Structures are given as C-alpha cells and as structure tokens.
Amino acid sequence: MNLFEQQSSEFQRRHIGPNADDTKAMLATIGASSLDELISKTVPDAIRIKEPLALPQAISEFEYLSELKKTASKNKVYKNYIGQGYYGTITPSVILRNVFENPGWYTQYTPYQAEISQGRLESLLNFQTMVADLTGLPISNASLLDEATAAAEAMAMVFHHINKTDKITRPRFFVDNNIFAQTKDVLVTRAEPIGIELVYGDYTDVAADETYFGAILQYPNSNGSVEDYRSFIEKVHAAGGLVVVVTDLLALTLLTSPGELGADVAVGSAQRFGVPMGYGGPHAAFFATQDDFKRGMPGRLIGVSIDAQGNRALRMALQTREQHIKREKATSNICTAQALLANMAAMYAVYHGAAGLKDIATRIHLLTKSVAEGLSRLGIEQNNKYYFDTLHFTSVNAVAVKAMAEKYHSNFHYSPDGSFSITLDETTSVEDTNTILKIFESLAEKSTGHRIEAASFTETAYQLPEALLRTSEYLTHEVFNVHRSESQMMRYMKQLENKDLSLNTSMISLGSCTMKLNAATEMIPVSWPEFGGLHPFAPAEQAGGYQQIVEELGEYLATITGFTACSLQPNSGAQGEYAGLLTIRSYHAARNEAHRNVVLIPISAHGTNPASAVMVGFKVVVVKCDEAGNIDVADLKAKAEQYKDTLGALMVTYPSTHGVFEETIKDICQIIHDNGGLVYMDGANMNAQVGLTSPGMIGADVCHLNLHKTFAIPHGGGGPGMGPICVNDKLAPYLPGHAVLGDSKNAVSAAQYGSASILLISYAYIKMLGADGVKMATEYAILNANYMKARLEKHYKVLYTGKNDTCAHEFIVDLRPFKQSAGIEAEDVAKRLIDYGFHAPTLSFPVPGTIMIEPTESEDKAELDRFCDAMISICEEIKAVESGKSDKTDNPLKNAPHTQQVVCADEWAHPYTRKEAAFPLHYVTLNKFWPSVARVNNTYGDRNLICTCEPTSSYAEA
C-alpha cells in the first residue's frame, strides 16, 4: 500500500479496534489460521456474497469533511416562518457544547442499568416534570419519536382503554380539521389496521355520541388560532369519550394548560426547546396524561425509588417498563425514543426557568402581534382572532406572496387550500419583522412608512382571550430555578454526565444493540447550520444538499441489503418494523388477499416484533426454537401450512437473536413464500451481515436497518435513532409516503425523511469506510466476538454456536447454573461488572438468566481483555461462594455495585476487603468509575410511584 492509499484507508484503521498484531494473537486464541477462515467457518457458504459491494471506495476523514462542505452549500438556509411543528430555536451554546456535542451524553445507552445512569435519569425526570407542569397533567413519559406518532400513540392508548374487550363497541375517533397535515396523515396510517374509524370535522359542530371513543384537537390549532375547547371537552366526556390535545410547550407558558381545560392526554413536540430543526429531526415528542392511564402509556417512564442504602435513586418505573415487553399484548412498539433530545429540551428549561421561557414566548407573541398590526395598516387582515405565534391569511394571493417572500429569502407556509400562514419563533428579530412587512409593501407597491421598533413593546397587551390566560404556576421546582449562570449550568450538566457510564469510559457490549464507535468526524457536521437550520417543509430546491445525501444513502443501503428501494422515513427500528409490515399488508391487499394477516414470529424475537405486528392488525403465531437456539423448522413448516390461506408474513432476525447464522435460513424463507407469505427481516443484527451476505440474498422481501446500531448513529441514552426500510420490487410501491413527496399513503413519521440530520452520520460512516471497510467492520465484529467467546468459554457455559462452534457477532453466556450452585443471579453479575468499570451486556434477552455480549469491531484487544479479565475474576468470586469460602449473602456480588460512600465509610462490616469491593483488578485502579448509587430497589419505586421531581425537602441527608 503506498502512502496515498494508506491515507484513504485511514478511517478503517481508526474505526476498527484490533491492529495487525492484535488480529494475529486473537486468531491464535480462537484457533483459526486467518480471518477469512474464521468467516468461512461462521457464515454459511450458501448465503455468502461473492462480489465486493458496489459502494464507493474509502476516503479519509479530512477528505470527507471537505467534500461534505460542498454538499452542505447546496442547502439554502432561508428565514423560515413555516411553523407547522418545526420552529427556529436558539440552542444555548452551553447545552450545544456540553450535551449535544458531548460523547459523555450522546454515546450513552438506554438507562436499564440504573446505577450507572443516574445523570440522564435525573435529566429525563426533569423532562417529565417540565412536561407535566406545562401541560397541567400529572404523568408524563420520557419522550416519544415525533409529534405525529405521539398523537397516534395517544389515539391508540385511548382506543384500547375505552374498547377493553375484543369487541369494539366505540370505533370512532373525531379529528378536528385544524390539526397539522402530517399529524393527520400518521393518524390515518395507524387507525385503519386496528379498526379505528376517523371522522373529520370542525369541533364546534360535531355531535360526539357513544360511537366515539375519543377526539383530537390542536391547541393552538394548525392555522395558529387559539380556541377555548372547554365545552367541547365536556361534551365528549359526557358521552364517555376521552380527549387528546396536541399542543406547543412554549405557547403553554402563556396559555391555560390542556389539563386545566379537561384534556385526558396532551402530546406534542419539544423541538423548539433548543433542538435544531435538522430538516425534520431528531426531536423529542412528549406525552402527558392522567394517572388512570399510566399502565397503558407508550414509551418509558422514569420514576423515583431508593437504593440498597435507602438513598434516593431513579430508574425506569413499572415492571413492564416499556409496552413492547408485553409482546403481542402490547399496544405500542416504542423502544428507541429520542432520549438525548429530551435531555436537551429539559436542559433548555433548566437554563431558562419559568420566567425565561415566558419572556421568550412573550417576545415571540408581541412580535407576531406587531406584524399583524403592520400588515393591517397595509390593508391586509389575517384571520386569527386570538393567536400565539402564527398569523393566517386567506385574502391575499399566495402565489404572488411566495414569489416575493423568496426574493427576501423567507419561507411562509402555503396550504393546498390557497391560504398561507406566517409563524414567528425565538430566532425572529425586530429586523426580521420589518423584512416581513417589506415583502408585503413591495407586493402592494406602497409603504406604510411604519417600522416596528423594539422600544414599542413594553405595554402591549396579549392577543389572547382572557379566559385562556395562564394563571397556574409551572417549573417551580428548585432545579428550574438555580442553574442560571453559565458556570453553574455547565457544572450541573457535568455532574450528571459524571454519574453515567458511556462509551468514553469503557466498552458497552450490549448484545443486539451494537454500541460501536460514533466517530467525531461523523458527528461534527450534524451541528453545521446548513444541516440544522433547514425546515423539513422548505421548498425542495433549498435542500439540494439533503436531497443528495438522502439519494446516495438510500442507494448505499439498498445495495448493502440486496434490495432495490429504500425509505428513510421511520424514526427507529420498531417504526421500521411497522412500516415494513405495512408494505406487506398493502401488497396483499393490492392482490385481493387482504385476509393474509397471520404473522409467524419465533419465540426468540425481540418484543417489538410482535408489538409491531398487532399494530398493523396482524395475528401473531409463535414459532418454537430448538435446543440449539435455532428456529424449529418442523414447527415453522407445520404452522406455515396450517395457515397457508391466511399467512401474511414471517418476522425473522438474522443472524438469530441467539447470535448464530442458521444454516436453514434459505429454506425457511422458501417455506414462507411457498405458503403465500412474505419475509420480514429484523435487521438489528446487520452488523454481522454487511458485505458478507444480505437480507435480499437470503430470500427476505423487506428489512429495517437500525442506523443507530450498525451504521454508527449514537444511541443517545435511548434515542435518537433511525430505522429505514429496504425492500424488493414487489414491495417498493408501498413504501411510506408523505404529503411533501406528493402522496401520504403509509406515512409513519411527521417528516418525510424522519430524523434527517442524523442520516449524515451513517452517510459519513459508509463514505469513510468504503466498500471494503464496511465489510472489514463485519469481519472484525465477528472476530472480536469469537475471541471473547474463546477466552470466556473456559470459565462459563456459552449457549448456542454455529455448526463449526463459532458465534456470529455476539454470543450468550449462561448464568443460570449459578443460581442453584451459589445463589448468584444474572443481575448480580451485571451489577458486579459495574465495580469493574463496565456496563453489563444485554441482560436476560433473548434467554432469561443469561447475558449476551456484543463487542463490535470498534474495540481493540486490550479493552476486550479487560472485559474478559473482569468476567473471569467474577467467575472466581462465584466459585468462592460455591465452595463456601465466601458468604452466601454477604459477598461482593450480592452487594454490588459498591459506591464511594460505602467503600470510604468509617464502618466496614463485610467479610471481604474494601479493595476487593472497589478495586478487584489492577486495571480498575487506573480508571475507576464509581456508581453514584447502590443497587436500586425496583419494587419500592413501583409501590410508591413518583414520576416528577419531588419537593427537595422530602429526602433528608443520609
């Protein structure tokens, strides 16, 4: 390799952990002569791709950034007054730098290991408190994917609550005409498959009767009008229905809350709390409701509990934690859900406080009012009697306005009905409002001579109805009132960050979740204004850069999966499952086979699979797995034949959730096709496929990709993520549409390309690794897993391997025997790993009582060795309990994790030493990570459910 080639492949060497010497040593440990041999032994020959992937060659990080600058310049950042759920916002620099651009925050995993997640759990509790306060409802979850899906989730929750039995007695849902178009489109997609009938109308003249289970309204509505819904809500309640209100947190700083108006659920987007528009996302949606509905709520709920020392500790509340764990009994499939963006929004509220937020809202409102007054002087009247930030016009020629506005680099929102609206936001300056007036003056070819001046705002009254002026308090908790100076704010975020173990501390070997490197060069452009500042509904000609990236990335992903078309719309893997199953459903329907609604799902599947299936109205039939962890082909065949007249699909994960490349996968796909079904492949394990095999080659018809697993988007503590789907020609006509793209059929997200701005990360990943790099990544993921397996199987039983005794990119360690022999459970091992400085692998999925380890290609041998050393040392500790050398209950495993307070306390009453507790191996002394709380008590918190910040005084000093 000459020096110039070496430069181009630089990123491959940075992304992939093991170097040449590591590789040699690891192969020797495994007993393989070469990487090729290991891969040949692991991946069945029948499904191997023989050709190199048709992807571009690798470029260096420097080359990538220079090239991307050119692409970015094709995006034109105009002043956006479009609104419709996306607003200009000012991300406080202190939050941008310390959260958004900080791997300590964005590389975190979902907070299942509560003891090393107290920072983000506290921040998410702040989010819940902020949402509960502003919406006036007692319970809020910790974020959903976007406003439109949040509205659909609310509809579904209310539907299932009212129609508790199988017999749907109240199928109708009233949808007010004036909700955002994209929200309506997602409601349409989600309603019909589960038997909901949408009825559109004007809330002022609907007769809601006993056939309605509920209604949805928007406040302020899609035209910006602020209406009083109290009597409508009473009417729906009187008929036994429930009411969902879509709302805007910033407007609620001035307006009576939905809770006070009587709403049962309030949903919306927290985007304008400091999160850039990013051409559609990622942003956190919120969902708040009455106490009665907490068990049916989608998403995750953070709650307050105590730890083993009796100290306050946070964790995900309620045993079910997330809906999809209920599998086919679930009513929602939300898994990955924008945690990082919820944290940013919460920090925005912490930074500004109630008064600061109200000032921001007031400034926007007064500027909006002055624009209305200025236009009125020109003889242009807008329609909203009361409004917050949006003016709506029907009496002016929108085509002429659009042409003139674009001359001034300004975008308004133009409706299909010929009306248009202007929405102001936090970034709108007094100067901007004068430009808006100038646009209309130029059109009218006259001047009012009137200029809006900042000085004129002091005593202006709100253009809001007296009856809807907010009187209740919000954000009164201390946390929203003390972090005002930048120093304090910076330290608060750092304090929380320090409590959390993320990838900048040590490897996070979560099986099925692929916590690989999120390279800085992949991340940096996400903050560029050319990508952050674009409104998703801005004219396409202003988004040339995004168009190019969307097109190229879609092609790359189709190539990698062996398919022909791709939709980048779904915001998570689970949304991808839903969207993919919809394409199958539409395909059958188009062939007059709408009765094909049975979906076969192996017992080992992730919980989102059955949850997504029931959401598209499919009936789940479970397929067994055999002793070796493979799909029981006989059982699959029997069931496929039994249901051959109604078989819709198979959902299958490959390599299996057990970490094995099943030899029979092609036969399995064939059996399904022979019986009239199609094959959905859950692509969560694509990190074992890229470049070696593909879903298309294997025989699947559609798959989703978790870009936040295989393609380097960081997990953000539980989101963002992206779950694009790739399909073959049969299914291509049914991919999700969007009004912006001309047809909204099967729309699953609010924005046409979901969380568009983070597509950049996966785009960078593929560009910089290139065709051979992405394949190498797969090979090294398999090498790393097999190396760890080789080291650990001398001490633990490893479940399920392929026919040559190799694993794929992950493997399962069985901890069940220790329950019998030592009273030690999988959870004890998981918590003990914290003392060794590691996040536990995936716990009890897909097999209870086990851990699943997935190292990824990004970890080098030294890190893998540290983890293996920790596991081996833990094995010794277990043996000591087995032999009676250690106490059965008072031992380092049962008491794990050990906090600093416990280890440094005056008293130490345990039969093992403090050093054994906290510094069990030498490497730990070099990089000690202290958990901020001891083992968290889950049941205590569920018995005393608290899901908002409690009064500070309720926890005395321990």
Ligand X SMILES: *Cc1c(COP(=O)(O)O)cnc(C)c1O
What's the min distance (Å) between Cβ of 320 and ligand X? 16
CA–CA distances in Å: residue 272 to residues 195, 283, 382: 34, 9, 24
# chain residues binding ligand X, by CB under 6 A: 16
Nearer of residues 521 and 608 to ligand X, judged by Cβ: 608
Q: Which is nearer to ligand X, 723 or 841 (CB)?
A: 723
Tell me how far apart the terminal alpha carbons of the chain are, to the nearest angstrom: 62
Q: Which structure tokens are listed for 211?
A: 């056939």
Choice between 114 and 611, CB closer to ligand X: 611
**Cα 679 from Cα 696, distance rounded (Å):** 10
Which residue from 521, 657, 744, 749 is in contact with ligand X, where contact means CB under 6 A?
657
Least distance (Å) between residue 675 CB and ligand X: 24
Residue listed under structure tokens 């277990």:
878
Per CB under 6 A, does 714 bind ligand X?
Answer: no
750 in contact with ligand X (CB under 6 A) = no
Nearer to ligand X, 605 or 902 (CB): 605
Q: Contact with ligand X (CB under 6 A): which of 184, 272, 606, 839?
A: 606
Q: For residues 899 and 904, what is the distance between their CA atoms, to the nearest angstrom?
A: 8
Among 113, 189, 289, 336, binds ligand X (CB under 6 A): 336
Q: x/- site string to ligand X, residues 284 to 323, per CB under 6 A?
A: ----------------------------------------
Q: How far is the CB of 756 from ligand X (least distance, A)?
A: 17
Binding of ligand X by 98 (CB under 6 A)? no
Site residues for ligand X, 49-68, by CB under 6 A, read none
Task: Report the alpha-carbon distance of residue 820 to residue 823 in Å, rounded.
Answer: 6
Q: How far is the CB of 571 from ligand X (least distance, A)?
A: 9
Look up tokens 């009905």; give the residue.
417
Report d(CA 836, CA 870) in Å as an integer: 6
Bridge partners, 314 (sequence order): 304
Q: Does residue number 682 form part of the binding site for ligand X (CB under 6 A)?
A: yes
Member of 111, 714, 723, 892 binding ligand X (CB under 6 A): 723
Segment lying near ligand X (by CB under 6 A), choices 567-575, 622-630, 903-911, 949-957:
567-575
Q: From CA 826, how far away is CA 849, in angstroms rounded?
A: 5
Nearer to ligand X, 370 or 608 (CB): 608
- Under the criterion CB under 6 A, does residue 629 sit at the interface with ligand X? no
In the numeric block, the tokens 């800085």 are attached to 520
How far is 510 from 797, CA to CA, in rounded Å?
Answer: 18
Near ligand X by CB under 6 A: residue from 335, 360, 422, 732: 335
Nearest partner of 717 among 311, 349, 307, 282, judged by Cα: 282
Cα angle 625, 627, 630; round to 5: 45
- 8 A C-beta contact, residue 576 and residue 710: no
Closest CA to 862 of 788, 947, 951: 788
Angle (CA) 222 223 229, round 5°? 70
Between 430-444 and 339-377, two packed helices, what is the crossing angle to 10 degrees?
A: 50
Part in contact with ligand X (CB under 6 A); list of ranges 248-256, 525-533, 536-544, 572-580: 572-580
Task: Considering the complex, state which of residue 586 and residue 706 has its C-beta at the smaller distance from ligand X.
Answer: 706
With respect to ligand X, which residue has the nearer C-beta, 336 or 597? 336
Q: Which is nearer to ligand X, 307 or 854 (CB)?
A: 854
Give the Cα separation of 361 and 89 in Å (integer). 12
x/- contact string, 490-519, with ligand X (CB under 6 A)? Answer: ----------------------xx------
DSSP per residue over 456-501, as a string? GGTTPPPSS-GGGB--S----STHHHH--SHHHHHHHHHHHHHTB-
Alpha helices in 78-201 (DSSP H): 93-95, 103-106, 118-135, 147-162, 181-191
Stretch that binds ligand X, among 176-184, 201-209, 459-467, 571-579 (CB under 6 A): 571-579
Answer for which of 135, 653, 675, 938 binds ligand X (CB under 6 A) is 653
Judged by CB under 6 A, does residue 608 bind ligand X?
yes
Stretch that binds ligand X, among 32-40, 473-481, 566-574, 947-955 (CB under 6 A): 566-574
Give CB contacts under 8 A, 24+ apart, made by 229-232. 229/203, 229/261, 229/262, 229/263, 230/261, 230/262, 232/203, 232/204
User: Which is closer to ligand X, CB of 142 or CB of 574?
Assistant: 574
**Site map (CB under 6 A) of ligand X, residues 141-170, x = contact:** ------------------------------
Contact range with ligand X by CB under 6 A, out of 569-577, 767-775, 807-815, 886-894: 569-577
Kindly state the smallest distance separating residue 279's Cβ from ligand X, in Å: 20
**Binding status of residue 720 toward ligand X by CB under 6 A:** no
Residue nearest to ligand X (CB): 573
**Interface with ligand X includes 574 (CB under 6 A)?**
yes
The rounded distance, in Å, linking the Cα atoms of 658 and 779 is: 18
What SS3 class is residue 823? coil
Task: Locate 876 and state its tokens.
Answer: 């010794």
Task: Kindly indicate which of the ranges 29-37, 392-400, 473-481, 568-576 contains the residues binding ligand X, using the contact rule CB under 6 A.
Answer: 568-576
Question: Which residue's CB is nearer to ligand X, number 249 or number 513?
Answer: 513
User: Tokens 């910790």 correspond to what residue?
Assistant: 142
DSSP-derived 3-state class of residue 64: helix
Helix/strand/coil for 256: coil
Q: Shortest Cβ distance from residue 583 to ligand X (Å)?
A: 17
| Interface contacts to ligand X, rule CB under 6 A | 335-336, 512-513, 572-574, 606, 608, 653, 657, 682, 684, 706, 721, 723
